[in-house]
Structure 1
């Protein structure tokens, strides 16, 4: 079996594989919300309750991807569900790429500044890289367009604004907090880059389909 089979349509859209991927993402989402549990409680105690939705970044990204997988497995027929599907797909791509790369960067940036890596850091590195890769692999099976992509970009930039204007960004190590302005600037640039990469992947998939 050639290795290219692993990213072929036949393999990736196989019903059994989709169920396995969905289960893994749901479990990762649950774990992520548990991981953010203390920060969510802290936020609810000190800020308006609605702001808590901007706290758990990575698990919300994997939640978007899980919903996108469900729509892929069970395509909706009604118009408004189609709109929701497109938005969820665009959010899945932009946020999965963004937070997948962001988390890994923060881990190794912190390590370069003197933080000690533990086994959880390696687990988070693998799982977050997987988030970014899986979202880009599935772009060609998604139906969202440029309007949904722009909406996803706006939402993710709003999340950045809330994180760094209200101080509800993911808890960082002491070394990284000292460089918060740099972290903020990197985060915003990464959001824009993630939307660009998602758009490029979308364009490439549509172009390849058109020229078959």
Structure 2
């Protein structure tokens, strides 16, 4: 484990992850562009879920590069990276099972979103999350579920749109699990210095 922590703290690795996450965030917002032009202004902040999660992590990495901790952003990052990372993997696997095939971008989304979830957890020992940070991230995340599944602003996945109610139910519980994971790994874990 000591090697892993040394590796994660390496400034070259941090810079590489910073660049990769910036590029992934940009791609994510481009992926949402067609949905965003049709979105009512009051929902705009809550529609692009995954790129916003990776944007939170960009700021976490920036703080680490500056040798700082921004606990509030760290709380938002761990909750949303895990949630939307796992969510996108599950949705793309469901799409593959229902349609029998998946465009190459679907496989890319499985890999990239799986990596989102993992990176959020790998850096958890370095986070400095307080109770109010996690409370704010939990409110944001659960509010986002309401926007997505009550106001029908969830990401569009073609044939999966007809299953929005069970997907909404799954998403709610994934949010709860993500918040719990952030509590265990982001608040109760042994703190490592960056």
TM-score (norm: length of structure 1): 0.85
The count of aligned residue pairs is 192
Asked whether the equivalents of residues 53 and 80 of structure 2 are also in contact (C-alpha less than 8 Å), the reply is yes
* Residues 133-152 of structure 1: pairs in structure 2 closer than 5 A: 133-152=118-137
Corresponding residue for 2:27?
Answer: 31
Question: Is residue 2:82 matched to residue 1:104?
Answer: no
**Offset from partner CA, 1:68-125 (integer Å, 9 cap, x none):** 111122145xxxxx7xx21110000000000000001011112222252111111111
Cα distance, 1:156 vs structure 2: 0.5
CA contact (8 A) 1:97 1:131 kept: yes
Alpha-carbon separation, structure 2, partners of 1:203 and 1:67 = 19
Say if 2:153 is the partner of 1:202: no
Q: Which runs of 5+ in 1 are unaligned?
A: 77-81
RMSD: 1.7
Structure 2: 5+ residue stretches without partners: none
Q: 2:42 aligns with which of 33, 40, 50?
A: 50
Q: Deviation at 1:50?
A: 3.0
1:149–1:12 distance in 2 versus 1, CA, 3 Å: same
Whose RCO is larger (CA < 8 A, sep 6+)?
A: 2
Where does residue 103 of structure 2 map in the other structure?
118
